[in-house]
Structure 1
Amino acid sequence: MFQRIQTVYMLISAIVTGGLPFVFPLWTDNQKNEVFFTSSIIYISLFVLSTVLAIYSIINFKKRQHQFVLNRLNMIFNFILLGFFVYWSLNLSGEALVSEKGIGMFLPAISIVLLVLANKAIKKDEDLVKSVDRLR
């Protein structure tokens, strides 16, 4: 299970979406207050859903196709989360509420890159298994 590189990628993705939002703020407002992902139920639910999907995908290491589909679904949820952040940051007028964006807004992008790398490795494993089946 952990000897495969895609498991490492999915584990790092789960850490990025499950642990790092508690460490890195999404943005800092004008009063220098750091705003974390717990400010909105949408952010909480999407981060938790992304983490659970990554962990569930790690557990399903015997079903590569199922793992591939779960990672794609996880990427969709991360794109939705990233879309919320981009919409929120572009919809503001000037320096009304946010004075500085934090690294927490880019965590879904990091997770998407890791999930793409995991899917690439899963596809490589699947192709290897299919080639061995042809030889039998």
Structure 2
Amino acid sequence: MIQRIQSLFLLLAAIAGGAMGSFNLWKAKLTKGNVATEDYFNATSSYLIFIVLMVSTILAFVCIFLYKKRKLQFRLTVLNILLAVAVLALIYFKVQDKANALQNEGATIISATYLLPAFLPIVMIVCLFLAARGIYKDEKLIKSLDRLR
């Protein structure tokens, strides 16, 4: 039953996680002395973010093939939602640490912005939530059919 809609949502969550691992998430324009430079932050800048992100991405991909074990698939999807929220929080805190470290080095930050891939954990959370809802509906349907037999 890989053709279920929740499989598509799980695949989209895995793609979003994989894409986030390869793009810059934050960009700062700064000056050090008289030299203007740019500094970037991506998921590979922090091992903790990278590990949690890859675990979340792999878990979303593995959940696609657990369609025969709906309860396990549902539980792992809920766990994956929590991991995606953790990735979002870790990105925020690590970016703040990086900005503080740059300022402590004597650099003046002119402008700093989160780039579009930094919001991919939100896409992951939405896709995982929709997948969990679909898995729950399937489980509910199977239980109602079992009562009819």
Q: Does 1:45 align with 2:51?
A: yes
Counterparts of 2:10 and 2:110, CA distance in 1: 34
Which consecutive unaligned segments of at least 5 residues does structure 1 have?
Answer: none
Contact 2:6/2:131, CA 8 A, preserved across alignment? yes
Contact 1:27/1:98, CA 8 A, preserved across alignment? no
Q: Does 1:120 align with 2:133?
A: yes
Alignment TM-score, normalising by the size of structure 1: 0.88
Q: Secondary structure at the match of 1:61?
A: coil
- Quote the residue 1:10 is aligned against: 10
Counterparts of 1:89 and 1:97, CA distance in 2: 15
Instruction: Kindly provide the amino acid, as one letter, of the partner of residue 134 in structure 2.
Output: A
> Greater share of strand residues, 1 or 2?
2
> CA offset at residue 135 of structure 1?
0.5
Deviation string, structure 1 residues 64-89 (Cα, Å, up to 9, x no partner): 01000000111111111111123345
How many residue pairs get aligned? The number is: 135
State, as a whole percentage, how many aligned pairs show the same letter: 36
Deviation string, structure 1 residues 84-133 (Cα, Å, up to 9, x no partner): 12334556569749612112221111101000000110111111111111
CA RMSD across the alignment: 2.1
Contact 1:16/1:111, CA 8 A, preserved across alignment? yes
Contact 2:5/2:131, CA 8 A, preserved across alignment? yes
1:103 to 116, 123, 147: 116
Computing the radius of gyration from Cα coordinates, the structure with the larger value is 2
Change (3 A) 1:89 1:37: closer
Alignment TM-score, normalising by the size of structure 2: 0.81
Contact 2:2/2:65, CA 8 A, preserved across alignment? no
